[in-house]
Amino acid sequence: MSANPHEALPIRLTVDDSDSPADVVDALFLGRFATGEQPHAHSSTLDRVKPGATLLPPGAAVLRSARDDDRSATLAEGDGWTLLVSRWNRGADVTVTAVDPELARTVLARATDGAKDDPEPQPDNVTMGFWYVSPRRGPHRTTRRIAAGSWEEIRPNYTAPVADAMDRLMKLTPDDIAGRLLLLHGPPGTGKTSALRTLARSWRDWCQVDCVLDPERLFSDVGYLMDIAIGEDEGTAKGRWRLLLLEDCDELIRGEAKHTAGQALSRLLNLTDGLLGQGRNVLVGVTTNEDLERLHPAVVRPGRCLARIEVGPLTRPEAVSWLGTEEGVGRDGATLAELFALRRGTSPAAAAAAQAVCAPVVAVFAARVGLVAIPCNLLA
C-alpha cells in the first residue's frame, strides 16, 4: 500500500443535473489538497461581511466563479496557495490550502482583514403571536410587533428579590429548562406583563412567545387546545421552543379550581408535564393576582415550575429612588402602576378606576364587532 493517501484512493469528480456550478467550484478546490500538492488548510467563518468586501487577498487570480440564487462560490489562487470563498446572504466561509501552514494562515488573514461587519443593533420590539377563537375561522393566530425594553432598562422597576429572580430567568437557554410552567403572581400593577414582554425579547433567538387571549376557552375546548399545543403553526420554526402566555388565570389555578373549572386545570397540568406535552417544546406562562397560599397545590408542587416568582410592589426606599421624590409615595411603598401615575401627575386611585371602567367596555365592543381585543398592558 502506498504511503501517500492520494495514491491509495482514486479521485473522481462525478456530476449530474442536480449539481450546480458552485458545487463544481467546491470540488475543484479540493484537488490540490487531496493530491498533497497543498496539504495544509485553514478556514474562517464570518457571520456578517461588509458590503463590497471581496475576501480575496492582493494578487489573487480568480480561476472560477459561480452564483446561485442564495449563494456564490469563488476559486482563486496565488503562489503556493488556493482559496475558496463561499458566500450566502451577509455571511461567508473562507478556506485556504497552501504548501505550508504559515502561508495558509497568512493568506487567510489577508483575505479576511477588515471584512467582518459589525452586528446589527438589536431592535427594541419583538414579534408576538396572539391566539383566539374566531366565530368565522375557528382557532386563529395573528401577530403584532410589541415594544419591549431591555432587561437592563426595566430592572429598576422591580424590588430587589424579584429583580434577582428575573436575572436568572432572562438568561435562560433551552439547555437550562427544568419544568415547563412559568408562574408570575402578585397584586395588579406590579409589572408582571412588562416583564413578560421583555422576556419575549430576551428569548427571541430560541423561543416564540404567543399570548392566548381566551385561556378559559383554551382548556375547555379540546380541539382548540390541540390546534395550539400539538399542531405546528406558521409562526414557529421546527425545533424552536414556544411559550404560551395565559394572563390573569385566577380561576384556573386557585385552590378550588377542580370544583369550578372542571377538567381545565387537569389539561393545563397535562400540557406542562403530562402526556399532552411530551415531545413538544412548549412552555406555559401564567400570571395571576392570587396569593401563593390560594393557588392549587398541584400547580406549585416542586419540579413543575420553571420559575415561580412573586412580583410585589417596590419598597418605600426603592419607590422614592425610582420616582425621585417622596411626594405621593405611601409608607409601604408603591406598585409600578402607582409610580407611573404619580410621574404623570395622576392620582393612582383615579388611574386604577379608569382602567377598571375601560377594559370591560373595550372587551364588549370588540366582541360585538367581531374583533380581537389585545390586552392594553401587552401593547403598552
- Give the model confidence (pLDDT) of 57-84 as tens digits: 999 999 999 998 778 999 999 999 999 9
Give me the mean pLDDT over the 101-125 stretch: 87
Give me the mean pLDDT over the 195-223 stretch: 88
SS3 250: helix
| Predicted confidence (pLDDT) at residue 211 exceeds the cutoff of 50 | yes
CA dist., res. 94 & res. 174, Å (int) = 31
Q: How far is CA 148 from CA 208, 267, 323, in A?
A: 14, 31, 21
- pLDDT attached to residue 13: 65
Give me the mean pLDDT over the 224-244 stretch: 69
Which set of grid coordinates corresponds to residue 378?
401587552
Question: What percent of the chain has pLDDT above 70?
Answer: 71
- pLDDT attached to residue 167: 96
Which set of grid coordinates corresponds to residue 349?
386611585
Residue range 139-149, pLDDT digits in tens: 888 888 888 88
Q: How far is CA 82 from CA 61, 107, 278, 373, in A?
A: 9, 9, 50, 61
CA dist., res. 139 & res. 141, Å (int) = 7
Residue range 253-271, pLDDT digits in tens: 554 444 444 566 667 766 6
Domains and CATH numbers, the chain: 5-112 (3.30.310), 125-312 (3.40.50.300)
Number of H helices, E strands in the chain: 17, 12
- pLDDT attached to residue 23: 85
| Predicted confidence (pLDDT) at residue 379 exceeds the cutoff of 60 | no
| Predicted confidence (pLDDT) at residue 320 exceeds the cutoff of 50 | yes
Using only the alpha carbons of the chain, give its radius of gyration: 29
CA dist., res. 172 & res. 303, Å (int) = 16
Confidence of residue 137 (pLDDT cuts 50, 70, 90): confident
